[in-house]
């Protein structure tokens, strides 16, 4: 049996704490994400379409597009339907995907990764509403996935906050369950319209041989930003001593005072980070590391222009 979490700062996710994030973001906007529109070949700024605006580019036709702004020349050349996009169109659709797999319920200082992920989602959600962007989401908990319908109103943001609070209020697992990362990415493939901006928040401990294909499909027609939420034990040298460690289904005691054990641990840390960096670089996904051991706001600010 797991242990039910009591209300503990940095562990329990409370609705009122997510609401308070708004006051910390005055004057900021998600529109100021650096290099957001140049993350890679799949990058496309999502815009409200209209007439009398300067033509900027064409993109693949999506069901529901106005046939009046079809790009017939591109269609004749390629054999595939395309829609015109205009320079003054500014509306974007954000999809916030929050991975709350069992590995996220861990932290050695300040907060759990799950708490940091909820706080980060609240920051991005509020910034999206400030910009009047359309916001949707997907919360992947240890046993379920909760889609948040895309919309402009703050009702969607409140729905996201409720889901985060509910998903984090669970019995903590004694052992790690299977990661929900790939299931979350697969669900995004089914629900996200091409041209969206997808923000993935995860510790990415669920990466396996199926993950690259899922990311490639999503990144091909969308902008993507990956926030890697991590604890210091995943990046820093451990103090010498015995520690219980679980690798897969195997548990053992590792003495980091032993040079061989310390080197093995360092290699595991470097390999995980290199794996994340290689995948995001390969598919032109913006990577933003976030530590659960510090306040979220000052970590997010460097990615914004004041």
* pTM, to two decimals: 0.80
DSSP 203-224: --TT--TTHHHHHHHHHHSSEE
Count CB atoms within 10 A of the CB of residue 227: 27
Structure tokens at 124: 């991005």
Topology at the third CATH level for domain 3-34+91-303: Rossmann fold (3.40.50)
Q: What is the pLDDT of residues 49-71, one digit of tens each?
A: 344 455 667 888 777 677 778 88
DSSP state of 239: P
Q: Which of 173, 166, 167, 170 is nearest to 2 (CA)?
A: 173
Separation of alpha carbons 285 and 49, rounded Å: 26
Residues 282, 297 contacting (CB under 8 angstroms): no
Tell how many helices (H) and how many strands (E) occur in the chain: 8, 12
3-class SS at 171? strand
Among 7-16, 144-153, 234-243, the range of highest mean pLDDT: 234-243
Mean pLDDT check: name the lowest of 42-56, 63-77, 87-101, 253-267: 42-56
Instruction: Tell me the pLDDT tens digit for each residue of 180-225.
Output: 999 999 999 988 888 888 999 999 999 999 999 999 999 988 889 9
Strands 242-247 and 250-255: antiparallel
Can you list the pairs that 49-53 forms with residues at least 24 positions away whose Cβ atoms lie under 8 Å? 49/83, 49/84, 49/85, 49/86, 49/89, 50/86, 50/88, 50/89, 53/86, 53/87, 53/88, 53/89
pLDDT of residue 171: 66
Q: What is the pLDDT of residues 140-160, one digit of tens each?
A: 988 888 888 887 768 788 889
Under the banding of pLDDT at 50, 70 and 90, the label for residue 172 is low
Position 52 scores a pLDDT of 43
Q: Where are the domains of the chain?
A: 3-34+91-303, 47-86
- Rg of the chain taking only CA atoms, in angstroms: 21
β-pairing, 223-230 vs 286-291, is parallel
d(CA 272, CA 250): 18
CB atoms within 10 A of CB 286: 20
Across 46-60, 118-132, 206-220, 271-285, least confident range: 46-60
């Amino acid at each position: 049996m797991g242990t039910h979490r009591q209300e503990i700062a940095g562990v329990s996710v409370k609705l009122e704490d997510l609401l308070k994030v708004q006051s910390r973001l005055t004057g900021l906007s998600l529109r100021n994400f650096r290099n957001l529109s140049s993350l890679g070949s799949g990058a496309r700024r999502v815009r409200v379409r209209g007439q009398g605006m300067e033509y900027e580019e064409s993109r693949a036709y999506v069901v529901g597009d106005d046939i009046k702004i079809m790009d017939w020349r591109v269609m004749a050349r390629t054999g595939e339907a395309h829609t015109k996009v205009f320079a003054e169109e500014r509306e974007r659709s954000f999809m916030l995907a929050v991975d709350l797999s069992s590995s996220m319920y861990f932290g050695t200082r300040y907060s759990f990764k799950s708490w940091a992920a909820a706080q980060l989602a609240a920051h991005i959600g509020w910034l999206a509403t400030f910009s009047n962007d359309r916001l949707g989401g997907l919360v992947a908990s240890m046993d379920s996935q909760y889609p948040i319908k895309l919309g402009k109103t703050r009702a969607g943001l409140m729905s996201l906050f409720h889901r985060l609070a509910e998903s984090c209020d669970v019995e903590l697992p004694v052992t790690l369950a299977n990661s929900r990362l790939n299931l979350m990415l697969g669900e995004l493939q089914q629900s996200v319209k091409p041209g969206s901006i997808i923000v993935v928040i995860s510790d990415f401990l669920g990466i396996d041989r199926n993950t690259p294909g899922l990311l490639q499909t999503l990144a091909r027609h969308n902008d993507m930003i990956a926030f890697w939420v991590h604890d210091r034990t995943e990046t820093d040298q451990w103090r010498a001593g015995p520690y219980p460690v679980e690798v897969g289904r195997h548990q053992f005691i590792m003495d980091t005072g032993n040079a061989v054990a310390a080197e093995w641990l360092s290699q595991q840390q470097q390999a995980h980070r290199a794996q994340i960096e290689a995948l995001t670089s390969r598919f032109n996904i913006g990577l933003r590391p976030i530590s659960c051991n510090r306040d979220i706001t000052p970590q997010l600010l460097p990615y914004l222009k004041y």
